[in-house]
Amino acid sequence: MSPWLNHFFLVPLSVWQGVDETVVGRIASEHGRFASQSFINGDLLLFMFVVAGVAAGFAAGYWWRMLFSEKKGIKGKDGK
């Protein structure tokens, strides 16, 4: 096993913090602001992104021809 992979599995999870804790929290504290708990967080936020992605995928799939291939109402130089 490579040394970096071995190190990855031996490091406790508390070392692997997200962007919110490491970057945003640090910059906010430097400017005198403190991080507050988000109104929508965790699995609910992930679920909302999944639902929005499914809805956008359904809409794009349903209207694919109209969006990208059929050109209704656009006439060429000869009027056809």
Could you tell me which residues come within 8 angstroms of residue 67 by beta carbon, excluding any fewer than 6 positions away?
60
Phi-psi domain of 33 (left: phi exceeds 0; alpha: psi -120 through 50; beta: other): beta
Note whether 4 and 24 are same-domain residues.
yes
* Between residues 14 and 69, the one the model is more confident about: 69
Which residue's structure tokens are 């992605």?
53
pLDDT, tens only, 30-73: 888 876 777 777 788 889 999 999 999 999 998 887 877 766 66
Note whether 22 and 44 are same-domain residues.
no
Q: Give the chain's length.
A: 80
Q: Per the domain annotation, does 43 fall within a domain?
A: yes
Number of domains in the chain: 2
Per-residue DSSP letter, 13: G
The whole domain housing 32 covers: 1-36
Q: Per the domain annotation, does 80 fall within a domain?
A: no
Q: Per the domain annotation, does 51 fall within a domain?
A: yes
| Residue 35 contacts residue 28 (beta carbons within 8 Å) | yes
Q: Per the domain annotation, does 55 fall within a domain?
A: yes
